Amino acid sequence: GAPRPLAGKHVLVTAGPTHEPIDPVRYIANRSSGKQGYAIAGALAALGAKVTLVSGPVTLATPPGVTRIDVETAQEMANAVAQALPADAAIMVAAVGDWHVERAEQKLKKQGGSPPRLELAENPDILAMLGASPRRPGLVVGFAAETEQVLEHAAAKRTRKGADWIVANDVSGDVMGGEANAVHLVTADGVESWERLPKDEVARRLAQRIADAL
Ligand code: C5P
């Protein structure tokens, strides 16, 4: 059979967007499709890893061999990640909402020309929590979706969040929801820029690099 270099390793992956409810029928979300994270979870499982995929709301099928935990909000995602530890590696691909709203119990109504004002509060940064955790996985990988100064922001994010690697991509084009991705792997040793590749191929290469590192 195929080589299984990640046999016996537990890898935690987050993927997808989060939904932050405003009231029972409305939410704040983002354009993440979950495709890159799901492809990574599948590629890791194909190399023999035990994969826990903590997923925001997406319409994708669970890859073969992956254990999926569905969540809605950033806080739920943070709780599910903490529950899933310990892990040998964590790959945080989710586009986690940065803010939540104090959720209204009842549907907000239009009234007399004064629209509701949404007050935003910060969400936990799951990657940063993991990077600083006493239960930190041996390898922590974050993603950085940027629209400008991609490499500078990614390198700063790597140290600020305590990640080993950051996979940086420029999302000013059609990456979100699209099938291809041009990424840069930012590590302590420097930057490796990969050519534009299908998301499945980015996933396979990254999974192989993770296998080499573990
Ligand atoms: O700061 P920024 O959102 O650009 O960081 C992106 C990286 O941090 C991704 O790996 C993402 O999954 C992770 N992240 C997180 N929790 C947050 C925000 C981002 O895990 N609240």
179, part of any domain: yes
In a domain, 70, yes or no: yes
In a domain, 1, yes or no: no
The yes-or-no answer on residue 30 being catalytic is yes
* Segment 156-182 mean pLDDT: 87
- Which atom, in ligand 1's list, is nearest to the CA of 146? 4
Phi and psi torsions of 7, nearest 5°: -55, 135
| 90 and 137 Cβ atoms separated by less than 8 Å | yes
The reply, when asked if residue 143 is annotated as ligand binding, is yes
pLDDT tens sequence across 83-134:
999 999 999 999 999 999 998 899 999 888 889 889 999 999 999 999 999 9
198 — pLDDT class (breaks 50, 70, 90): very high
Taking residue 146's Cβ as centre, other Cβ atoms within 10 Å add up to: 17
Range of the domain at 33: 10-105+119-213
Q: Which numbered atom of ligand 1 lies nearest the CA of 143?
A: 10
- Match 């935003």 to its residue by tokens: 120
Of 9-18, 143-152, 204-213, the least confident: 143-152
Q: Looking at residue 14, which CATH number applies to its domain?
A: 3.40.50.10300
Closest CA to 168 of 180, 152, 179, 100: 152
Q: Cα–Cα distance between 32 and 13 in angstroms, integer?
A: 15
Q: Which residues line ligand 1 (CB under 6 A)?
A: 14, 74, 92-94, 96, 123-127, 142-144, 157
Query: Is residue 123 included in any domain, yes or no?
Result: yes
Mean pLDDT of the chain: 94
| pTM, rounded to two decimals | 0.94
Counting the structural domains of the chain, the total is 1
Residue 114 lies in a domain: no
Q: Which of 123, 139, 161, 166 to mutate to test the pocket of ligand 1 (most atoms within 8 A of CB)?
A: 161
Q: What is the pLDDT of residues 68-95, one digit of tens each?
A: 999 999 999 999 999 999 999 999 999 9
pLDDT for 160 beyond 80: yes
- What size, in residues, is the chain? 214
